[in-house]
Each structure stands twice: as structure tokens, then as C-alpha cells.
């Protein structure tokens, strides 16, 4: 498959998630990573997407099997080390979690794809999802590559960069992107403020085409220069594991944005992809029937949102 055939490019990580409950019990050991979940978020809607990241020579057969069974291309997976990154996820009794890379942070970062490795996949791509901090040298190299290919960019900020002292740099990078995704806790940290209305005011002042402000189980707020829209979560979903919901939903928002859809429809795609993500441990599978159900659910939620607005 030629690299130029991919409509959507996802840049982040593919790791092994070891999820432990607050009791210390090992709940699962599955394929994970922000990149895999973002890939899943778009894959629910499109066949033409690829994850670009480094893996280890020991990337397990079970993980390769997920790519094969879901029809997700492995063309962007590059063997860059002996070991695939592992994330130890320890849930606490209050619902929070602690993530630890047993091989160390430097190893984890060394597997990330650099701009030069991403560039070949951007030819004729419609959208680029990036989960990253605000490292200036990285963005100075990547942004021109995306723009010269006419590729729309969604930046989902890494929580490590969501600090008041980083605010101006974050703003400068975000304003060169098309969509910016951030969750409520990260937004509060970035602006040093715990008032959602104030946070929205600050974010809308950045004048981006679209900002996706994630509110966890409450859904999301989709912000444009002219309006702020509440997007509900999918109801009736029993969450097995919330890992990756933000990545999955953000990537789905990018898909809708690249199609020129209304902000609320982009947000609803995000809600539906998040629901598919959290229904089991690890990333979801895909079937023709499941995708038809997702399309029908999108139409139903869109109508309900319209009726509520009248």
C-alpha cells in the first residue's frame, strides 16, 4: 500500500497497557497507547487511516493480530528498539490513575515518530492527529510539513504541557493548528482557573476554527469563534475501562472536521467513538454491522440535539 493512500494520519504511541485495579489485581494486559486509541476513533468511520509510531522488536503477536483483524494498516509501525513500550496503569480508589513506563520515560519517548518519519505519510492526507507536548523544535519542523501538504491538524495536548508557564507557547502552537483538544482538568491547570465558563472564554479568545473541550462522563463542549455547543455522551454505556476515550474521541472529531461537518456533528462523532473505546479493555474491534450502528446512532443523536435546541 502506498503511503499517499491514507486520508488520516495518527501520530502517537502503541504500547502494552498493564491495567491494575485499585485492589492491585491485574485486570488486563492489552494493546494500548494514545495512538492506538486515536486510530480506533477514526477507524470506526474510515478505512483510510494509519498510525505512525515506533514499536519494539518484541511487539507481541496478539497486538499484531488486532491490526490484522480490524483491517488497520501496520505500514506506519517502525521497529525502533528491542522493547515495545509498556505502560503500568494503576487505578486508585478515587477513580484517578497513575501511569508508569517500566522501561523509563526516555525509552518511551524514543519510540515516538519524528517529523521526518511522519512526512512521507502526509502526501495527500486530509487530517493529521498529534498527541504531543509543546516542544518547540518538534512543532517548528512538523507544522510546515503538514501545511505544505494541505493537511488539517488536530493537536491533543499532553497533560505535561498544560501548565500556566507554558500557556503562551501552547497558544502559539494551537493557533497554527485547525483543532485543539484538551480535557477539563488540563484546561484548569493551563489557565490556573477552576471556572469552566472562564476557561471557555479564554479558549475562544484564541480564535481557532474548533476547540474540543472534553468533560469526561458529561460529554464535551465544542467551541468555535462564534458559539459554544454542549455535546452529550452516549447514554447507556457501561464503561469497562475509560483508558483512551479522550484520544479516540479527539481523532473522531478531526474526521468530522475534515469532512466539513457542523461542530456539533464533529462532537457527536467524538462521543460515539469514545463509547466504543470504553466498552472493553483495550481497543475495540470493528464490523460492518457495528459501523452501521454507529452511523444510525449519529443520526439519532443529531436529531435529538436539534430538537433540544428548538
3-state secondary structure 78-144: EEEECCCCEEEEEECCCCCEEEECCCCHHHHHHCCCCHHHHHHHHCCCCEEEEEECCCHHHHHHHHH
Q: Name the 3-class secondary structure at 156.
A: strand
39 touches 10 (CB < 8 A): yes
Of 251, 246, 255, 185, which is closest to residue 219 (Cα–Cα)? 246
pLDDT for the residue numbered 1: 39
Q: Are strands 210-214 and 179-183 parallel, antiparallel or unpaired?
A: parallel
pLDDT for the residue numbered 4: 52
Beta carbons within 8 Å of 173's beta carbon, 6+ residues apart: 134, 136, 139, 143, 155
- Percentage of the chain modeled with pLDDT above 70: 98
- Residue reference for cell 482557573: 193
**In the numeric block, which cell numbers belong to residue 41?**
476513533
Between CA 281 and CA 189 the distance in angstroms is 29
Residue numbers of the chain with a pLDDT score lower than 50:
1-3
Between CA 226 and CA 302 the distance in angstroms is 20
pLDDT for the residue numbered 310: 59
- Residue reference for cell 484548569: 188
Q: 93-129: per-residue pLDDT in tens?
A: 887 788 899 999 999 999 999 999 999 999 999 999 9
187 touches 180 (CB < 8 A): no
pLDDT for the residue numbered 2: 43
Strand stretches in 21-105, DSSP E? 26-32, 49-56, 77-81, 86-91, 97-100
Between CA 144 and CA 123 the distance in angstroms is 13
Considering the entire predicted model, what is its pTM?
Answer: 0.94
pLDDT for the residue numbered 94: 80
Of 40, 65, 7, which is closest to residue 294 (Cα–Cα)? 40
Amino acid at each position: 500500500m502506498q503511503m499517499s493512500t491514507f486520508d488520516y494520519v495518527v501520530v502517537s504511541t502503541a504500547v502494552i497497557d498493564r491495567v491494575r485495579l485499585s485492589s492491585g489485581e491485574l485486570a488486563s494486559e492489552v494493546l494500548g497507547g494514545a495512538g492506538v486509541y486515536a486510530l480506533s476513533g477514526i477507524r470506526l468511520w474510515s478505512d483510510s487511516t494509519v498510525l505512525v509510531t515506533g514499536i519494539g522488536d518484541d511487539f507481541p503477536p496478539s497486538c499484531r493480530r488486532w491490526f490484522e483483524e480490524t483491517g488497520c494498516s501496520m505500514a506506519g509501525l517502525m521497529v525502533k528498539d528491542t522493547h515495545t513500550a509498556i505502560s503500568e496503569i494503576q487505578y486508585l480508589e478515587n477513580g484517578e490513575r497513575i501511569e508508569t513506563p517500566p522501561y523509563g520515560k526516555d525509552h518511551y519517548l524514543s519510540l515516538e515518530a519524528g517529523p521526518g518519519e511522519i512526512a512521507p505519510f502526509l502526501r495527500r492526507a486530509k487530517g493529521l492527529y498529534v498527541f504531543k507536548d509543546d516542544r518547540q523544535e518538534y512543532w517548528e519542523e512538523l507544522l510546515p510539513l503538514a501545511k505544505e501538504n494541505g493537511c488539517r491538524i488536530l493537536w491533543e495536548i499532553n497533560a505535561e504541557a498544560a501548565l500556566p508557564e507554558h500557556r503562551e507557547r501552547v497558544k502559539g502552537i494551537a493557533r497554527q493548528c485547525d483543532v485543539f483538544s484538551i480535557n477539563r482538568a488540563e484546561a484548569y491547570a493551563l489557565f490556573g482557573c477552576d471556572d469552566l465558563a472562564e476557561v471557555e472564554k479564554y479558549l475562544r479568545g484564541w480564535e481557532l476554527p474548533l476547540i474540543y473541550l472534553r468533560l469526561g462522563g458529561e460529554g464535551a463542549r465544542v467551541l468555535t469563534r462564534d458559539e459554544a455547543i454542549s455535546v452529550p455522551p452516549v447514554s447507556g454505556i457501561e464503561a469497562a475501562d475509560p483508558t483512551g476515550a479522550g484520544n479516540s474521541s479527539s481523532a473522531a472529531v478531526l474526521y468530522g472536521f475534515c469532512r466539513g461537518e457542523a461542530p456539533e456533528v464533529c462532537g457527536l462523532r467524538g462521543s460515539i467513538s469514545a463509547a466504543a473505546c470504553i466498552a472493553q479493555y483495550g481497543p475495540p474491534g470493528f464490523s460492518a454491522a457495528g459501523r452501521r450502528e454507529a452511523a444510525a446512532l449519529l443520526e439519532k443523536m443529531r436529531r435529538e440535539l436539534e430538537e433540544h435546541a428548538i
